[in-house]
Amino acid sequence: MTKTDVIIIGAGASGLMCAIEAGKRGRKVLVLDHANKAGKKILMSGGGRCNFTNYSIEPDNFISHNPHFCISALNRYTQWDFLALIDRYQIPFHEREHGQLFCNDSAKDILNMLLTECHNAGVVIQLNTDITDIERIGDSFILASNQGRYSCASLVVATGGLSIPKMGATAFGYKIAEQFGIKVWPTRAGLVPFTLQPDDKDTFSALSGIAIPCVVSNARQRFRENMLFTHRGLSGPAILQLSSYWQSGEAVTIDLLPDTDLAQVLKTKRQQKVKNTLKTILDSYLPKRLIGCLCAEELLALSLQDCSDKYIALVAAQLHQWMIKPNGTEGYRTAEVTLGGVDCDAISSKTMASKAVPNLYFVGEVLDVTGWLGGYNFQWAWSSAWCAGQYV
């Protein structure tokens, strides 16, 4: 049996960060992962450039049944702390919209930095390890695996969420929580494209590839971003963001012209005796194909001069408050994150340790903390793991 101080299950963003911090404190750290490579999600993130944090990190950018839980960790290890690390490794990066920070070259820069830090801190990373059993015996955790048995004083669960099973995502972390009597909130896919009802799919799949700046909202949230029509449904940042706030069966409202008061524009043009049809006028605001799908042909054929206030209001409502009821989401196959997870009320927000099971820690996405699109999920991984790393 291999004996060590700390075992971390999961060599992803949070597992590696926790290992670095614990290793720096002189703890003997072993990271176990069933995958054949560490940090696979880091490598595929941000289109290969890893949106590793954001200039503006606020608790409101996170979703949890316990919205206060994330505050302490985010305040103790901030985006500026991670940027200081990036700076030390001279990793070139740039800012995109909404303060999102991406590598200039490759997400490999982030993974290599973490692996170098692990190496410097004496951390051992063992891949291809399937853990078959975990037991608590006395003050130790005993793990059985296809590579042998291990014992440790502190066990850290850093197994992430369920998104992209092809990349090695499993429900193992939730099962460990349940094994030790820790509540797990039901999980569902977040930051995920919507699929459409069959009729809508037939209509809108023809628009595949069209991107529109818009405001997408429901009763709980609104996001002003781009939306993308795909051959399966709706995607793009606006949709991904709202998907994390969406409940099955609910309609979403889309303002396709958030910078224009369409009713006012049409009334003004009517007053100016503009003689064009509604179609000609609307075509200068939105892609022709989209207008054709959203507005009735008879309405579009009307000359503006023949349009009553009622018709104008009808067209404006259709384009400012287009309501569509998604059929569902694309699920974990394409989701960036998993909502729900290990109940934060059962975990210390200072140490990330279970309140009931001494020396059992949970970090990163396995916890019921889900960030918005924009580098927030990695910042949560860094912050929560850094905190645990000070105590394991």
List interacting residues with ligand FDA (CB under 6 A).
Answer: 9-15, 32-35, 40-41, 44-46, 50-51, 131, 158-160, 163-164, 168, 170, 172, 336-337, 364-366, 375-378, 381
Question: Among residues 9 and 256, whose Cβ is nearest to ligand FDA?
Answer: 9
Asked whether 164 and 157 are in contact (CB, 8 A), the reply is no
* Residue nearer to ligand FDA on the CB measure, 77 or 376: 376
Question: Min. distance of Cβ 170 from ligand FDA in angstroms?
Answer: 4
Question: 236 or 286, CB closer to ligand FDA?
Answer: 236
The nearest distance, CB 227 to ligand FDA, in angstroms, is 19
Close Cβ partners of 22 (under 8 Å, ≥ 6 residues apart): 5, 6, 8, 29, 121, 123, 154, 388, 389, 392
Shortest reach from residue 256's CB to ligand FDA, in Å: 27
Q: Of 23 and 46, which CB lies nearer to ligand FDA in the complex structure?
A: 46
Sign for the CA dihedral angle at 35, 14, 194, 67 comes to positive
> Which CA distances in Å does 214 have to 94, 227, 232?
25, 7, 19
Asked if residue 17 lies in contact with residue 385, where contact means CB atoms within 8 angstroms, the answer is yes
Smallest distance from ligand FDA to CB 9, Å: 5
How far apart are CB 44 and ligand FDA at their closest, in Å? Answer: 5
Q: 162 or 282, CB closer to ligand FDA?
A: 162
Query: Which residue's CB is nearer to ligand FDA, number 26 or number 48?
Result: 48
Task: Indicate the residue among 204 and 364 with the shorter CB distance to ligand FDA.
Answer: 364
Residues with Cβ within 8 Å of residue 314, at least 6 apart in sequence: 299
**Cβ 160 to ligand FDA shortest distance, Å:** 3
> Considering the complex, what minimum distance in angstroms separates the CB of residue 339 from ligand FDA?
11
Which string of DSSP letters, residue by residue, matches 214-270? EEEE-SS-EEEEEEEE-SSEEESHHHHHHHTT--TT--EEEES-TT--HHHHHHHHH
- On whether the CB atoms of residues 173 and 343 are closer than 8 A, the answer is no
Of 192 and 257, the one with the shorter C-beta distance to ligand FDA is 192
Identify whether the C-beta of residue 253 lies closer than 8 Å to the C-beta of residue 326.
no
Per-residue tokens: 61: 């950018």
Q: Which of 306, 309, 255, 307 is nearest to 285 (CA)?
A: 255
8 Å CB contact between 270 and 252: no
Q: How far is the CB of 28 from ligand FDA (least distance, A)?
A: 19
CB of 147 to ligand FDA, least distance (A): 11
Residue 148's φ and ψ, nearest 5 degrees, are 130, -170
CB-nearest residue to ligand FDA: 12
Distance in angstroms (rounded) separating the CA atoms of residues 302 and 281: 11
Distance CA 235, CA 32 (A): 35
Using the structure block, give the residue that is written with the tokens 């290992």. Answer: 19
Closest CB to ligand FDA among residues 204, 245: 245
